[in-house]
Amino acid sequence: MTRRTTHILAGVIALAASLGQSAPGATAQTSFQTCLTTTPVKVRQNVLKLVNARREARGLPSLSLQPKLNRAAQTHSCDMGRASALSHTGTDGSNVMDRAQREGYRPCLIAENVAAGHQSARDVVRSWMQSPPHRQNILRPDARHLGLGFASPQNGGSPHWTQVFARPC
């Protein structure tokens, strides 16, 4: 872990503590740190490449990764992983709009795909494309941004994936 990452993580935990709340995953600092750093750039880039290939094959514009949506998706993947659940509703009752807005993204359009158990970007995108509602989100012509989260729980549970598709207002 880099010094910058350590300082950012410490700041998030300190901020949450100062607000009288526990940070997501703060039951064990190691778990929280692992979860926040789980989605490597390479994984995000692979999913983006696969999603954009499917969009471009249908004449749709490419999506770009959006950092605020990445954070919203990562938070949700971590939450699902800790809860060993697959849901569009967070353990705090949040939905995709709530999570995006918490990160400072103001969407006029938002949609979410979640999945669990897939071990690679190729497998999860293939699965989403085989499901009509998930495929519809991937191929939304009005989407412009993508956020991706991936969390593999330390307890050996299934990896959890979250995709967020959006267009700002």
Q: 3-class SS at 71?
A: helix
The gap between the terminal CA atoms of the chain, to the nearest Å, is 36
In this structure, of 21-25, 55-59, 69-73, 115-119, the range with the lowest mean pLDDT score is 21-25
Confidence grade of residue 40 (pLDDT, cut at 50, 70, 90): confident
Binned at pLDDT 50, 70 and 90, residue 68 comes out as very high
Asked if residues 100 and 110 have their Cβ atoms less than 8 Å apart, the reply is yes
* pLDDT (0 to 100) of residue 81: 85
Evaluate whether 140 touches 165 at the Cβ level (below 8 Å).
yes
Q: What is the pLDDT of residue 83?
A: 83
> What percent of the chain has pLDDT above 90?
63
- The mean pLDDT of 69-93, rounded to a whole number, is 91
Element (H, E) at 165: strand 160-168
Is pLDDT of 157 > 80? no
**Rg of the chain on CA atoms, in Å:** 16
pLDDT at res. 18: 28
Q: Residue 114's pLDDT is what? A: 97
Model-level pTM?
A: 0.77
Residue 50 tokens, joined: 């696969």
Residues 32, 51: Cα–Cα separation, whole Å: 28
DSSP code of residue 112: E
C-alpha 135/C-alpha 133 separation (Å) is: 6
